[in-house]
Chains A and B, each alone.
Chain A
């Protein structure tokens, strides 16, 4: 017994290295890391890397970033923490900037490693590499849109620690060179990617062409309209494109768009599956299964770990599935810009009393009700409750300071509800402080508005209607207004504007307006206004009067610096024939104290001091 104990003690106390070497003991294998070899051996793992690269795409105003949609006076931001959007007087020069060369490096590494991989099938290898090249080109497009010309890095760089990193420094390419790179990459990969693709979350020929059409159009318009803002340029061409390049870019844009329209990339078409044109328009963003319109999307899926909360934060507050919602309140500025069915523009008639709240919006572009939740409509089968109060016989107002507040009206004994459960109530977040909520991207499925479930509506990056409008604009700029009218009328007819525009009616204002009506909240407004070089005119920093608001609707350079609202009141006057009818009033929400000013220095976002000091070849943006 004693001996055994003795032995055990000795065993215990002998240096423990005997059992497992120190190095082995310390080498705990990781549980969630793949070596480069493992990662590129098997197509499933390569796809896993691609999945991350797809997820890291940058875009503007996506379903995961509502705040940028709330900007530009198209919307009122109905959240206490975001009132700065309507209280500031200008945008910082750093806004909208991006410089994610880590993403580019990861894309370059992917392309290099996938090229070197030996066990992948030819078909897989080609497709994977082309997908990465598409993502890279698309990110360079984001870079050039925001920053102008940037260094074009197409292979992974490594510092050798030799003390002289100058060999790693690249100057900014010309703005045009970045566009050329995007277009060239597109040309090289478009036929390596599948056409007629049912998987729209992955790169396809259609996606490449759509990217080319948009990029070429941007380059073309910068070349053409840059003339009007000569100060927005740099001598080295890092910012600004010579005017003589415009035609070639427009031609390229038209050709790429027409390649899609002709069906060469697959049977894309306008979505027309619902009899009600407004519902149909809203459904473009909802219908995943049978949607010929979407070309390239970011997809979401319930119970997969990838869902978004757009509906949760923007659903009408009353009847919301969560104790929140209603953050985006489209402005009257936008709402009134939707045409009447006779192709004319007009403000709403606020002099009349309406029997039904919705009546004031009758006879307009169907995209209005498809984009905006109007008072008197429903969401998820529940009537939205947007109204601002009672108007008494003497014109005074009875309202409350909380959603659905109750007060006793003159001559009555019991309190009654005097304001909608969706507001509008001044300063009360989540209520419809402009009188409207956003409908685009709202998911009607049960649970979509709750934190636990979320929404699986896709975010559409490229869709067919935009391709048509891109084609129309390119054709218009190339002096083919009839071709332009043809494309534009297809889009308009779907919105119920069935009286075709003639070639003579196609003007720059029309082009600009059509994109606003069709593509609002899809991330175009900023970049469109920039490339047309009218951002500094539209957002000139001058506060808007009601007269400003109501005049020149449909004009591209119309001032748009403060989001207005349209509030409805119920008449309480037993002696009036209009008793119980609705009266509308134009209001500037109380929190709107600033006016948007877009400075010349905003045309290209500033490049951070650190970036410039780390690479002295990077020249500073103009006007900053």
Chain B
């Protein structure tokens, strides 16, 4: 039977059973229920019963340790008190394994009682790591791979998404979380190489799917940083994050776990503004007097009235206090059931998370996750697995103007002055017309503003079959079919509204502002991704030789259907859209297809030498048919020096060095993604339809445009990554660590041949070719120590990484002159630099300004005052212009070049304490807009500008100047020379170290729990992001924000309390 039939079979199944997916859920639940009731022990004949206790080095009982008869499907788990019993063959060996501890083997022989002490280990060499369609023991890994497991992930309660858990945890993973709104994610990159590929349970996924997994369902996250990622081929060129969800374990009793916590959130930091009208008017008068006209309409008499603050129109209003509601709640509850027989394992989990924001209780995020992983041995050597991941993700908030519905509320804090009040005559029935009513917080709610709801419904189903081919030991066939459907529904309705002015004369409220524009939109997206994989693998040991071989064929097809409709409803109260009220409709159907063939060979000798060879043949729909295919090889090797006899002799017994492995890898990966930036169908000639609409003859005619000269010569961008590293453990595993150096070169970035100058008048630009190259390189390392002091066990860990990018060369760059080359050449230069003026000081006196030889403001320095910035005249031509710019700062809005993390864990009896720090450096943040000049947008004053140069008496232009940090304020003059350019006064190279998780937990003693049949009960208090040590505090800016106006929704500080229960 050929493969065709399998396809037709499944087609037929779909036709007959249109609701097969629904049914499969019921089926799985039924299977699951049955299996739970079937957990029965089948003991065998002439064997012996062994029992014992498992403890850790602190003599604390370890529950849930797997005790297995080596090489057989016979195992049990220890009870909470560490006890176990199992019936085994006397000739067998017992293997004790537990996550986070070094596995231990003990031969049975005559022994029937075992007392086992497991050593804790953060880098358990026996730990299994997922590396590309395959798993490997950590000790045999030859690539740069780092892993974190559930125990690291579970204690992070810093928001709604998985990425927030990665801060400072993995060397080489760069982290920045610029936005902290409900449901927000951090930006994650591997070695700053670009957007990462996420592979979840073997299937390529996007960041959204990764971030919205339930944290509790994750067993481990491996990060493949070098050629090891190559095995995932297309789209793996920037590194791969491999996620494995939790599975049930064979022969374990059914366990119900509950993890629930509740938290309170507050903004880490946000700019501060004046909160009373006297201050506002005082600073405003000061700023206006610094203007060119040196005049203000504000008088001292007026100021006195503001100071009194009693008369109508002279009172104060504190908008920040009004808008921000402290201690926004966050709750999460996860319940999972897991266990297994020798034939069936299961993990079924449900999680509900709700996150609010400090912007009142109407701006919120909620998510429900379901994860069901079931694996069964259906016949001898034949295993089947179904893994289902589903979620509903909701963002729900008032529907208000602007693309970002969270924007106006934040903007309002800066935009509204203390003179303005939310309600006309303070009467809550009338929204006050403050003339810029979109920032009136009293309007930004579901009653007046409107309603917005965005929902994602996602179902990921993986089905796999695995068959050990009889007769050939170690030969396994595996097939996987994965179907992913994501459904997005966005409904937004922004209402019409009126704002009122109170007229004290006749005590009336007149509608003087508002909007008569309703905005109703609906967007629907269906994303359907289908992945099929077929793989054959062979693993066998012959004496000291171990070989592995793997061949995989993979096809990925993605389809995205989207439509968007906009309408102008006639009333705020009817939410549906009708044909006659609609005015815009967009529709699209985009598809992608990729095919990969993968071959891999691994060989190891005596657990000492390791060599891996792999190759891929990739094909992508993006390229012209003749350029579709690319071939990409990888090679890696490792040497465990400490396994060598000569080394062991050299070191002698009881040596400091326990384990040392040197490894190196080189891989080439194909990339058809962002870095290439090739739009789909670039190779096709013709006309693109739907290029705007023209009204011809009174009738709308959809436009079409010539697609230009087709690009047929672009193919794969090749990313070559070389990595060299060491892994080591010292003092019997007490200290372990690793270090890596890497260099990635990308060839074939898009560029244009400049040596042939083709006239612009031909009307098209010559197609790009794969010409340019760049590099990303750096190093990283991690170190950890496990120690014990009396009954206190502790672990200390640290990691750091550095990564920078450089443009290497373009094809024959052309420059008009040497300045042009100096200023605009990229050749062999760091990327992500910025240019600006150098500030060499501030004018101290008017006299200094008058005599200053350089024309700073291009207006003869007439617009300058003491305190204003002095720019360096680099070329000494007496004026400041583009020729005086120098490179300043690092990347803006980019990932940090340097990332680091520290962690400390202390355990004492039932008490556990963790503290994690992460930090970063090597990026630049600019003060701009609201953080650069006073009264931007005629709004309130950012309080940083109270520390400014000013006259002793603001109303007297002859009074003495008093020094301050900032130049003299002007009233909303962003065009002033201090502000209208990029310079290093406003640029700040950021370094921060922030506390991530600080957690204190207490586990009730098992003696107490056994009585109530609870295996585990742990309570904890957890803080996240509680403080940060950095150089942006003075500006009221969270160190990770990107927006230069300081108005980005910052990260939150969290305080959580929670409980873990196992039954």
Interface residues of A (CB under 8 A from B): 1-2, 5-19, 22-23, 25-28, 30-36, 38-39, 45, 47-52, 54-55, 80, 83-84, 87, 99, 101-106, 108-110, 151, 153, 156-159, 163, 165, 168-170, 198-199, 201-202, 299-307, 318, 321-323, 399, 401-404, 406-407, 414-417, 421, 427-428, 446-447, 449-453, 590, 593, 609-611, 613-615
Contact B757 A16 (CB under 8 A): no
Contacts of A50 in B (CB 8 A): 694, 696, 701
Query: How near does chain A come to B268, taking the closest CB pair, in angstroms?
Result: 30
* CB-CB nearest in chain B for A607: B760
Complex interface bits, B945-977 against A, C-beta within 8 A gives 1, otherwise 0: 000000000000000000000000001100100
- Indicate which residue in A11, A322, A323, A611 contacts B1 across the interface (CB closer than 8 Å): A11
Contact B3 A36 (CB under 8 A): no
Complex interface bits, B501-515 against A, C-beta within 8 A gives 1, otherwise 0: 101110000001111
Contacts of A159 in B (CB 8 A): 758, 762, 766
* CB-CB nearest in chain A for B581: A303
Contacts of B684 in A (CB 8 A): 30, 33
Complex interface bits, B476-495 against A, C-beta within 8 A gives 1, otherwise 0: 01110100000000000000
Q: How far is the CA of A104 from the CA of B689 in the complex (A)?
A: 19
Q: How far is the CA of A466 from the CA of B536 in the complex (A)?
A: 79
Query: How near does chain B come to A496, taking the closest CB pair, in angstroms?
Result: 32
Additional pairs, 10, CB under 8 Å, beyond known A13-B477, A31-B588, A157-B761: A1-B379, A12-B477, A14-B534, A26-B593, A158-B762, A201-B695, A303-B583, A417-B503, A452-B583, A615-B761
Contact B938 A39 (CB under 8 A): no
Residue among A30, A158, A300 with max Cβ neighbours from chain B (10 Å): A30
Interchain Cβ contacts under 8 Å between A and B, 23 examples: A9-B465, A13-B535, A14-B534, A16-B532, A18-B4, A19-B7, A22-B595, A27-B593, A31-B588, A31-B589, A33-B689, A39-B686, A55-B694, A80-B938, A105-B762, A157-B763, A201-B695, A321-B516, A406-B504, A427-B972, A452-B520, A452-B583, A615-B760
Contact B566 A101 (CB under 8 A): no
Query: How near does chain A come to B824, taking the closest CB pair, in angstroms?
Result: 12
Q: How far is the CA of A110 from the CA of B704 in the complex (A)?
A: 11
Give the number of residues in B that approach A within 8 Å (Cβ atoms).
Answer: 109
Contacts of B312 in A (CB 8 A): 415
Q: How far is the CA of A14 from the CA of B703 in the complex (A)?
A: 47
Contacts of A39 in B (CB 8 A): 686-687, 704
Contacts of B518 in A (CB 8 A): 452
Tell me which residues from 690 to 721 in chain B have a Cβ below 8 Å from any Cβ of chain A: 690-698, 700-709
Q: How far is the CA of A35 from the CA of B553 in the complex (A)?
A: 34
- Indicate which residue in B435, B680, B705 contacts A52 across the interface (CB closer than 8 Å): B705
Tell me which residues from 600 to 646 in chain B have a Cβ below 8 Å from any Cβ of chain A: 619-621, 625, 628
Query: How near does chain B come to A209, taking the closest CB pair, in angstroms?
Result: 20
Q: How far is the CA of A201 from the CA of B703 in the complex (A)?
A: 14
User: Contacts A18-B4, A51-B694, A452-B566: A34 and B689 contacting too (C-beta < 8 A)?
Assistant: yes
Contact A15 B694 (CB under 8 A): no
B759 at the interface (CB under 8 A from A): yes
Query: How near does chain A come to B682, taking the closest CB pair, in angstroms?
Result: 11
Q: How far is the CA of A449 from the CA of B514 in the complex (A)?
A: 12
Contacts of A13 in B (CB 8 A): 467, 477-479, 534-536
Interface residues of B (CB under 8 A from A): 1-7, 292-293, 297, 312-313, 378-379, 382, 401, 433, 435-438, 465, 467, 477-479, 481, 501, 503-505, 512-520, 532, 534-536, 553, 555, 557, 566, 568, 582-584, 588-595, 619-621, 625, 628, 680-681, 684-698, 700-709, 756-764, 766, 814, 816, 937-938, 971-972, 975
Contacts of A47 in B (CB 8 A): 696, 701
Contact B700 A447 (CB under 8 A): no
Contacts of A11 in B (CB 8 A): 1-3, 5-6
- Indicate which residue in A28, A198, A202, A415 contacts B591 across the interface (CB closer than 8 Å): A28
Contacts of A83 in B (CB 8 A): 975
Contacts of B3 in A (CB 8 A): 11-12, 14-16, 18-19
Contact A80 B534 (CB under 8 A): no
Contacts of B680 in A (CB 8 A): 30
Contact B477 A9 (CB under 8 A): yes
Q: How far is the CA of A5 from the CA of B381 in the complex (A)?
A: 11
Query: How near does chain B come to A557, taking the closest CB pair, in angstroms?
Result: 28
User: Contacts A102-B763, A453-B517: A2 and B379 contacting too (C-beta < 8 A)?
Assistant: yes
* CB-CB nearest in chain A for B4: A19
Contact B2 A593 (CB under 8 A): no
Contact A165 B534 (CB under 8 A): no
Q: How far is the CA of A48 from the CA of B696 in the complex (A)?
A: 10
Contact B517 A450 (CB under 8 A): yes
- Indicate which residue in A106, A202, A303 contacts B582 across the interface (CB closer than 8 Å): A303
Contact B379 A101 (CB under 8 A): no
Contacts of A198 in B (CB 8 A): 697
Contact A615 B698 (CB under 8 A): no
Q: How many A-B residue pairs have CB under 8 A?
A: 311
Contact B703 A157 (CB under 8 A): no
Contacts of B620 in A (CB 8 A): 26
Contact A451 B517 (CB under 8 A): yes
* CB-CB nearest in chain A for B816: A609
Contacts of A7 in B (CB 8 A): 1
Contact A165 B2 (CB under 8 A): no
User: Contacts A13-B534, A25-B595, A590-B293: A322 and B515 contacting too (C-beta < 8 A)?
Assistant: yes
Contact A32 B761 (CB under 8 A): no
User: Contacts A13-B535, A306-B695: A416 and B515 contacting too (C-beta < 8 A)?
Assistant: no
Contact B689 A32 (CB under 8 A): yes
Query: How near does chain B come to A146, taking the closest CB pair, in angstroms?
Result: 15
Query: How near does chain B come to A451, taking the closest CB pair, in angstroms?
Result: 6
Q: How far is the CA of A144 from the CA of B450 in the complex (A)?
A: 51
Contact B763 A104 (CB under 8 A): yes
Query: How near does chain B come to A288, taking the closest CB pair, in angstroms?
Result: 8
Contact A427 B382 (CB under 8 A): no
A-B pairs with the 3 shortest C-beta distances? Answer: A105-B763, A450-B517, A12-B479
- Indicate which residue in A17, A103, A414, A428 contacts B938 across the interface (CB closer than 8 Å): A428
Contacts of B378 in A (CB 8 A): 5
- Indicate which residue in A36, A54, A301 contacts B687 across the interface (CB closer than 8 Å): A36
Query: How near does chain A come to B859, taking the closest CB pair, in angstroms?
Result: 9
Q: How far is the CA of A170 from the CA of B762 in the complex (A)?
A: 10
Contacts of B625 in A (CB 8 A): 23, 26-27
Contacts of A202 in B (CB 8 A): 696-697
Contact A614 B938 (CB under 8 A): no
Contact A615 B759 (CB under 8 A): yes
- Indicate which residue in B292, B591, B685, B759 contacts A168 across the interface (CB closer than 8 Å): B759
Q: How far is the CA of A574 from the CA of B756 in the complex (A)?
A: 82
Query: How near does chain B come to A320, taking the closest CB pair, in angstroms?
Result: 8
* CB-CB nearest in chain A for B494: A452
Contact A36 B686 (CB under 8 A): yes
Contact B763 A306 (CB under 8 A): no
Q: How far is the CA of A326 from the CA of B682 in the complex (A)?
A: 43
Contact A156 B590 (CB under 8 A): no
Contact B692 A55 (CB under 8 A): yes
Q: How far is the CA of A446 from the CA of B570 in the complex (A)?
A: 12
Contact B697 A199 (CB under 8 A): yes
Residue among B568, B694, B695, B816 with max Cβ neighbours from chain A (10 Å): B694
Contact A33 B681 (CB under 8 A): yes
* CB-CB nearest in chain B for A198: B697
Contact A49 B687 (CB under 8 A): yes
User: Contacts A52-B704, A105-B764, A301-B698: A25 and B516 contacting too (C-beta < 8 A)?
Assistant: no
Contacts of A417 in B (CB 8 A): 503
Contact A323 B438 (CB under 8 A): yes
Contacts of B519 in A (CB 8 A): 451-452
Contacts of B621 in A (CB 8 A): 26-28
* CB-CB nearest in chain A for B7: A19
Contact A52 B761 (CB under 8 A): no
- Indicate which residue in A80, A99, A108, A318 contacts B512 across the interface (CB closer than 8 Å): A318
Q: How far is the CA of A447 from the CA of B519 in the complex (A)?
A: 12
Contacts of A199 in B (CB 8 A): 696-698
Q: How far is the CA of A102 from the CA of B707 in the complex (A)?
A: 11
